[in-house]
Structure 1
Amino acid sequence: MGMVRLDLVYRASRLRLSRLVRELDAGQLDTEVPACPRWHVRDVAAHLAGVAHDFATDRLDGSPDPLWTRRHVRERHRLPMAAVLAEWERWAPRVERLLVGPDARGSLAHDMTQHEADVRAALGLPRLPGEVWHTMLDELCRTAEPWHDGACTLVVNAHGRTWWLGGGAPSAEVDVDGYELWRAWFGRRSPAQMRAWQWQGEPGPFITQLPVFGPRDTDLAEP
């Protein structure tokens, strides 16, 4: 797979989610999002608009801590959804520019697509198109940093591909559904769910270190 155009990934995901959210009624906007505890669909949209604003205006104090993300929701709590989406659209082109070049802020595209998946699951909709999460999973696996300075390496087999995560000799190998791996990487799966994958070797170090922000405490079942 060639170099990923993360700016285009972000744009396509934003447009899909904006169209979806724009058509929801008040009750649907208040749907709880299990992947984001204590958040509703409207809060996810507020967060994404806030991320776009803050990166575009360099308001990154506290990023990416929970207080920073909660501020996005709090500041837009009383705004109608049309205003939230308009703000997001206003700042999105600047975000896209941050996703181009050798210093691209790839986390913005990952955050965008993960939250799109969060909302779709909360509303009982099918998964994201395979080409979307395949692309993002490949990007993660290609750029993953070694664990323990390369002393702890995981071999991953998912949707017909194999990646080596780490620079040393393999200490474990896992066969896993690619979508499950992609979601787990951003804390959308519990340790119990990750242990249920088909492992060879001791999975413990990877279960705690693979998720960027740590694993969630409870299982999360999604369509």
Structure 2
Amino acid sequence: MSTDQDDAGHGRWASLYGRVLDALEDLLAGIDPATEQGEVPATPGWTVRQVVAHLAGTASDITTGRMAGAPGSAWTARQLAERDGVPMAELLAELRSTQRSFGIIAEGASAGAFNAVVHHADLTEALVAHRQDEALFLPVLQDQRHRWSTLSLRLPDDPGLAGLRSVDPYLLSRALFTRLDRSAVRALVGPGPTDAEVDGLGLFGPPADR
């Protein structure tokens, strides 16, 4: 069996995706209507409920091939519009209903798992003001090592790389998903990388100046 397969025979991204859905349900258990309408700062002005609507819409679109315009703003706006007013419990149920279908294609659609990871982190920061569990973001960070290792960075536990700059894994994961502003990214990676390299780190484009 491949090392990328878990004991149940599911690929690593399908397994990670299931763990993120578990964590998402735990995070949102018992959420009240007022909190659902609170803004999630790391997103494009979305509320908590809209972030979950986007996750449900993305899962539905990926598993049905409705990907025209992805991942642009019109694509995500349609997802939110189609789920406007849908209760949180139904959005979470929709996510679960597509889990099996996503698991079948997950190894070729890792972006769906990545999307769930980053938005769970967004919600965790917004709702409980602490970091996402490392077990959820670290697999993505390791998979994307080619994007940040060229900046002479290493994770604290990387063996044999003592000459490279050790960085906080969580902050690096947030920079990777363009969740840190330019000054925060520069403080993280140090003076070595060029401005162009700093701008090229984020999967969703250059960091903003704030």
> Fold-level match, TM-score > 0.5?
yes
Partners of 1:53 and 1:91 within 8 A in 2: yes
Partner residue of 1:156 out of 131, 153, 157: 153
Residue 95 of structure 1 aligns with an amino acid whose one-letter code is F
Corresponding residue of 1:133: 137
In 2, the alpha carbon distance for the partners of 1:40 and 1:163 equals 43
Q: Which residue of 2 aligns with 1:168?
A: none
Following superposition, the deviation at residue 43 of structure 1 comes to 0.5
Aligned equivalents of 2:76 and 2:129: distance in 1?
Answer: 25
The code of the aligned residue for 1:161 comes to D
What is the CA-CA distance between 1:177 and the residue it aligns to? 0.9
Q: CA RMSD in A?
A: 2.3
Deviation at 1:162, TM superposition (A): 6.9
Question: SS at the partner of 2:152?
Answer: strand
Residue type at the aligned position of 1:55:
I
Q: CA deviation at 1:90?
A: 1.2
Q: Which residue of 2 aligns with 1:204?
A: 195
> Following superposition of structure 1 onto structure 2, how do residues 1-223 of structure 1 map, counting pairs within 5 Å?
3=4, 5-100=12-107, 104-141=108-145, 144=146, 153-161=150-158, 174-218=165-209
Mapped contact 2:56–2:91 kept (Cα < 8 A): yes
Paired amino acid for 1:82? A
Q: CA deviation at 1:198?
A: 4.8
Gaps of 5+ in 1: 147-151, 165-172
Identity value in percent: 31
Shift of 1:160: 2.2
- Pick closer, same or farther for the CA change 1:163–1:11 going to 2, 3 Å: farther
What one-letter code is carried by the residue in structure 1 that aligns with 2:71?
P
Instruction: Give the Cα–Cα distance (whole angstroms) in 2 for the partners of residues 87 and 49 of structure 1.
Output: 6
Q: 1:145 to 1:157 in 2, by over 3 A?
A: closer
d(CA) in 1 for partners of 2:60, 2:99? 8
Per-residue CA deviation, residues 81-117 of structure 1 (Å, 9 max, x unaligned), is 12212222111211111113xxx21111111111000
Of Structure 1 and Structure 2, which has the larger fraction of its residues in strand? 1
More displaced 10-residue stretch of structure 1: 6-15 or 209-218 = 209-218
Structure 1 residue 213 displacement after superposition: 1.2
Contact 1:22 1:81 in 2 (8 A): no
Using the TM superposition, give the Cα deviation of residue 16 of structure 1 relative to its aligned residue in structure 2, in angstroms.
1.5
Of the structure 1 ranges 82-91 and 27-36, higher mean CA displacement relative to structure 2 is found in: 82-91
Is the 2:36–2:48 Cα contact (8 Å) retained in structure 1? Answer: yes
Give the superposition deviation at 1:125: 3.9
Question: Amino acid of the residue matched to residue 36 of structure 1?
Answer: T
SS of the equivalent of 1:153 reads helix
Partner Cα distance (2:81, 2:209) in 1: 26
**More helix, by proportion:** 2
Query: Contact 1:156–1:162 at 8 Å: present in 2 too?
Result: no
